Structure 1
């Protein structure tokens, strides 16, 4: 080799640097591949993705063949650099060899390590898929050497009592999946991201978090006179109403408004007409998750249920629409005459009805009022004060200032809330 022209030696050195760049970029490209996109492409029949996936199925072999190739190439480049240095400066070989080593180190870092790995990290598929054409036959060729090295590594790990972890599967936890959805960026619109997050959160949200409180449930009291009942049926904005006797806990059933036609247009209407048309009520434990209740509604072929506590007392009402709104957001078909519970003020504060749910406030204003415990603003204030409050009393809950504006029947009717800076 000493008789080879200097130009040939430089060409050989350049080739070795290119090979080193190939191995470096292949390693980074393979390890930077998105495993879920890779699986998707492989399932669609992408040949490059299939090859890359087969290599990544046994990562220790992949790393072994890449490192063997890269080290062999770099060692050959170092020896070749020494030979070139001796030929260029035979009179001062020590200085030439030292200078050659420095220059080779810079060249390897710049052209065979940092630049190729940066490009591979930026475009992993463009690097990894073509590289698999070479890595697969190279792995077959060097398999005995790769196997020996891997076994040696395993022996060393055993000596130092280091146990190899099991190969991690691609399964994601719920929190990891939520992070993946949030990191999707422009790939998914904000509306779709919110829908997916809403589905994932169904298991964490309980029925009593979204139910219509008992005090706000609109129903038909069969103890009222027939004229009042008929007028209520004509004026209602709801399609389904619970009917009861004197008290909501004495519920008779759930009446669909279409089934009230016979009562409304009869010459001699009777309350029995409504009782016969009412469907048996469905009772829902207040701690049932929305995920389970969604399937319960589907199984029972109903879309409304009465929420009960551990003593069987009715606490409120939940509908299929309430659960779906947790996924897709508020529907546009709002009930006529329904007013907003959150009223923005010019000074940056919000006047909020006491019966407004904490989750609804957080969603509407992107706040983080505590959701563990009381479900409404009224409940949160009473819990903080540990007594029935008086008007014009102010409290601080975390980063929020709450001023009570109106009290009625031992409940907070309205409060002014400000997020502190």
Structure 2
């Protein structure tokens, strides 16, 4: 019959292993769950998300508290499990005392006990909780949040001392204070995440295309979407509104650059709506195109496309002239083409030029 002390020790072993497994899973859950997912949970009204957010924000303190609990549990497990296992194995080997004297049986039992305890601890308290946490990160993070927050409060004095000691050591080697922060994804990593999410069916293929274009868009400049002047139809700045209006049905664009015949430069942008307004006022025979045109928005060809889009939105313009310094006009850029770099080709106005 087992002694009561040995029985209590054997009953305590699975309890300690369970506690150890809990804190190992907690450590992985706090590290693995993404801050963005926590923010999403907050917006969905999950009360525990605020607790998780505090643990994630104070990663150094949270992990230190968890490590204290893991280390303490392992020490207790070693103090309880190894003597109990050794005693059991010695008892099991006692019938062999004729061929296996106690001077040999006890060290052998101690070695076997350590091996068995280590094996069960590694499998049940380390590998299994880590594997489960990686598979069910969010569910486990939600389950452990409040107990871990409580352990953080209980272990606060020890955490303070440990962090001070750790910072003192790292400062000695010129590494500064230890700060555990969640790594930020690079652009290349984000593109890989988009590919993986698309492959997993998290969103439609078209959404993935738009996201990939957004990454490329950040590196594009005006030059990449410029329509060369050789392909641009321009109106004579000194032509009368009446002359242009006669052919308006043959020219399907709503906005046209007007060019000075002498300098060859674009001097303005005219909106066909303005021509219609002038026609309605019966002043088409007296006004020339220059009179109804807006001052052109001019971009350098190396201006980032993001800045060009921002400026066109701010100025409420749909078309801009591309010009490098005091040089000749290189072409035009349209809001349609800029947006097309983000969402793909946009069916728009006919590409015919006036004859």
Shared fold (TM-score greater than 0.5)?
A: yes
Once residues 196 and 172 of structure 2 are traced to their aligned partners in structure 1, the CA distance between those partners, rounded to angstroms, is 42
1:162 maps onto 2:175 in alignment = yes
> After superposition, where does 1:235-246 map in structure 2 within 5 Å?
235-246=250-261
> After superposition, where does 1:99-110 map in structure 2 within 5 Å?
99-110=112-123
Cross-structure match for 2:346: 331
Residue 212 of structure 1: CA displacement? 0.9
Once residues 43 and 284 of structure 2 are traced to their aligned partners in structure 1, the CA distance between those partners, rounded to angstroms, is 65
Once residues 7 and 162 of structure 1 are traced to their aligned partners in structure 2, the CA distance between those partners, rounded to angstroms, is 50
More helix by share: 2
1:317 maps onto 2:352 in alignment = no
Residue 49 of structure 1: CA displacement? 1.8
- Would the aligned equivalents of 1:203 and 1:292 in 2 still touch at CA under 8 Å? no
In structure 2, relative to structure 1, the CA distance for the partners of 1:224 and 1:60 (3 Å cut) is closer
Helix, strand or coil at the partner of 2:175: coil
Residue 136 of structure 1: CA displacement? 1.9
RMSD: 3.4
Cross-structure match for 1:10: 10
1:114 alignment partner, one of 112, 123, 127: 127
1:152 maps onto 2:160 in alignment = no
Could you tell me which runs of 5 or more consecutive residues in structure 2 were left unpaired when the two chains were aligned. Answer: 95-104
Per-residue CA shift, 1:169-188, capped at 9, x if unaligned?
A: 77766666556555543334
Once residues 44 and 94 of structure 1 are traced to their aligned partners in structure 2, the CA distance between those partners, rounded to angstroms, is 59
Per-residue CA shift, 1:66-97, capped at 9, x if unaligned?
A: 22221222222222233223432154221111
Higher RCO (Cα < 8 Å, 6 or more apart): 2
Once residues 173 and 241 of structure 2 are traced to their aligned partners in structure 1, the CA distance between those partners, rounded to angstroms, is 87
Cross-structure match for 1:138: 151
Once residues 212 and 267 of structure 2 are traced to their aligned partners in structure 1, the CA distance between those partners, rounded to angstroms, is 37
Please report the TM-score for the alignment, with normalisation by the length of structure 1.
0.69
In structure 2, relative to structure 1, the CA distance for the partners of 1:278 and 1:64 (3 Å cut) is closer
- Would the aligned equivalents of 1:285 and 1:308 in 2 still touch at CA under 8 Å? yes
Cross-structure match for 2:98: none
> After superposition, where does 1:54-203 map in structure 2 within 5 Å?
54-88=54-88, 89-90=90-91, 91=94, 92-166=105-179, 168=181, 181-185=194-198, 186-203=201-218
Once residues 226 and 119 of structure 1 are traced to their aligned partners in structure 2, the CA distance between those partners, rounded to angstroms, is 75
Residue 312 of structure 1: CA displacement? 3.6
Residue 200 of structure 1: CA displacement? 4.9
Residue 33 of structure 1: CA displacement? 0.6
- Would the aligned equivalents of 2:28 and 2:133 in 1 still touch at CA under 8 Å? yes
Cross-structure match for 1:344: none
1:35 maps onto 2:35 in alignment = yes
Cross-structure match for 1:51: 51
Per-residue CA shift, 1:373-418, capped at 9, x if unaligned?
A: xxxxxxxxxxxxxxxxxxxxxxxxxxxxxxxxxxxxxxxxxxxxxx
In structure 2, relative to structure 1, the CA distance for the partners of 1:289 and 1:271 (3 Å cut) is farther
Cross-structure match for 2:102: none
Residue 130 of structure 1: CA displacement? 1.5
More strand by share: 1
Once residues 304 and 284 of structure 1 are traced to their aligned partners in structure 2, the CA distance between those partners, rounded to angstroms, is 10
- Would the aligned equivalents of 1:263 and 1:273 in 2 still touch at CA under 8 Å? no
Which moved further from structure 2: 226-235 or 58-67?
226-235
In structure 2, relative to structure 1, the CA distance for the partners of 1:60 and 1:310 (3 Å cut) is same
Helix, strand or coil at the partner of 2:4: coil
Residue 270 of structure 1: CA displacement? 4.1
